[in-house]
Chains A and B, each alone.
Chain A
């Protein structure tokens, strides 16, 4: 019993459709990864730092947060400190409100010195936003805004 040409044609059309839909779902990124390169200075009672570079890219990764901020060995001191930092990312969108993400940068080493590394996260942004990246240093109850960055983004 042979397969009719109509069946073959329908199967071919369905295959093309399925391939394109599968490609879209599997390959087209739907998330925005915000990677922030940090350079931080940690004193005994005071912390500072800067946002060295902000990189946005489309991503499909499932990894939510990445943090490899560590002490720069050549810039370490023998004092200890409990200063740490907070990285805040806010995406403002007038129509549907804000998307907020915040992350405590608390290196495992409690030394005074210079720290550097990258913190990244994935945000589900669809539309037009103003993205703010703000870096705070925190010591006890005092919070200090040490660096910030903003840009306008549009996702399709």
Chain B
């Protein structure tokens, strides 16, 4: 018989007690005159008779008629209130603790056929051991009678051989799996949340360390698997409440993380964002573990009963848990408006310098025949405040460049950086890596990048209609072309090379350049005349080129 319900069913069916099962009609016997001594005697007798197994003491079944009576007082009139039952349970604990050695038991309240019962599961003695009452009486049971153990009986108990290795019970198997999973999951989960790169490096040593610690504690406390299972069962509600308090905190932390870029100017790669999910998994794991640990010895009705009886008995604990929820949620929520905690562990942007057209020159060049483009070199210097305890070492800083031209990190201090480009090759962000060895609290990185500009916004370019001056017999033509370029930008302009016309090497140039220079050159390859020019701010040029266009062009 493994469960309380099975024991009750067996007693009601067979209408008798056994060496390991005793029934009492009322829980009030615990408080009756002489009651505590009788209960102590029964406890010792059952524990001594239940060698290597559980014994049972049932309150709520008449010990003469073996009828279910439920939670009634000694006169069988009034129902014993829940508060009184709690007091009786405490008295029962005191009685059990005064036996030598203390008898271990589990107090279970259950409803059976609409009657409420208390079924106490008593841990039986082990071979070579026996229990005595506080007055030194070693009671034991034979069938449904209780006897005082004489010296011969005691010697017999002391000389008993060790029990053969028991087959592993489902509870201990479940516990082992549960403990192993917890042992592995806790440090790995925590590392994954804090710094995923540390998981493999530190996960195994931490797990082994925790395992060693648990083994040491188990050894020092002389825990056996069953004791550990019992401890886990007892602490299950507390563990559940504690883990549940992490969930709202983790949710609020996630909200904070979503707002943090607005405060810090940075996005950071962290699995802290997964904290709500991880805490939820942990909660579900603990619930599952609790169910697995308790299932083999508890029916659903019984579980309901236990929960119903546990809550009123632990109002103080529940109030504390509610207070803990509130504090955790408050602490994590305060990150949003006060930006209080993350700055201790994460970098943040302090100052950004944007130097547009850092070399003071806008460039105009040719991308194809007749197609011009303008671009400028910019520089951005990002100053980063480093945290006190760098929990996050990799952050992303958003960048917006509309150019696919090559950009580069020019210089940096206290951190390293890599460029993050989109598929087209445009710079869209910087990955910044905090140098954990740096002693300064401020780091910076300077990046040089390009911006594509609208040509018409920096220069006016006007080509006049070409004049045909002469046509020669060989088919070539002499043409005159005038064009004007003015710098309308607030910076200097560098123009060129811009390929103008195909010509022979004979050509003439008349130019009027203000605030700058302009050169028309001839390229042997392809027979092109091309322009190179530098114009200061407000500079301009009017250029007239007379050239010979070869035949066939």
Contacts and interface: CB of A to CB of B under 8 A. Distances in A.
* Range, interface on chain A: 20 to 34
Given A20-B341, A20-B344, A23-B343, A154 B350 contact: no
A28 B340 contact: no
B351 interface: yes
A96 to B, nearest CB: 17
A156 B348 contact: yes
B385 A154 contact: no
Interface string B321-349: 00000010001000000001101100011
B343 to A, nearest CB: 6
Nearest to B383: A58
Nearest to B386: A27
Interface residues of B, number: 25
Contact of A29 (B264, B350, B352): B350
A109 to B, nearest CB: 32
B213 to A, nearest CB: 23
B249 to A, nearest CB: 13
Interface string B348-371: 111111111000000000000000
Contact of A56 (B327, B343, B353): B353
A32 B385 CA distance: 13
A58 B442 contact: yes
Contacts of A151: 353-356
A57 interface: yes
Contacts of B344: 19-20, 23
B327 A153 contact: no
Contacts of B354: 151-154
Nearest to B330: A13
B340 A21 contact: yes
A94 B381 CA distance: 22
Interface string A101-120: 00000000000000000000
B349 A156 contact: yes
B187 interface: no
B200 interface: no
A145 interface: no
A155 interface: yes
A32 B381 CA distance: 14
Contacts of A24: 340, 343
B441 interface: yes
B388 A156 contact: no
A29 B388 CA distance: 14
Contacts of A56: 351, 353, 381, 383
A11 interface: no
A13 B350 contact: no
Interface in B428-450: 441-442, 444
A58 B350 contact: yes
A152 B340 CA distance: 28
A13 B444 CA distance: 33
B265 interface: yes
Interface string A130-156: 000000000000000000000111111
A72 interface: no
A28 B343 contact: yes
A153 B349 CA distance: 12
Contacts of B352: 153-155
Given A20-B340, A20-B344, A156-B348, A29 B353 contact: no
A17 interface: yes
Contact of A28 (B265, B383, B385, B444): B385
Nearest to A17: B340
Nearest to B340: A20
A27 B441 CA distance: 8
B438 to A, nearest CB: 14
A30 to B, nearest CB: 9
B343 A155 contact: no
B351 A152 contact: no
Nearest to A21: B340
Interface in A10-64: 13, 16-17, 19-21, 23-24, 27-29, 32, 56-58
Contact of B385 (A13, A20, A29, A153): A29
Contacts of B351: 32, 56-58, 153-156
B353 A153 contact: yes
B350 A156 contact: yes
Of the listed residues A13, A16, A57, the one surrounded by the most CB atoms of chain B closer than 10 A to its CB is A57
Given A16-B341, A19-B344, A151-B353, 10 more contacts: A20-B340, A20-B341, A28-B350, A56-B353, A56-B383, A57-B383, A57-B444, A58-B351, A151-B354, A151-B356
9 contacts: A9-B327, A23-B343, A23-B344, A32-B351, A56-B383, A57-B383, A151-B353, A152-B355, A156-B264
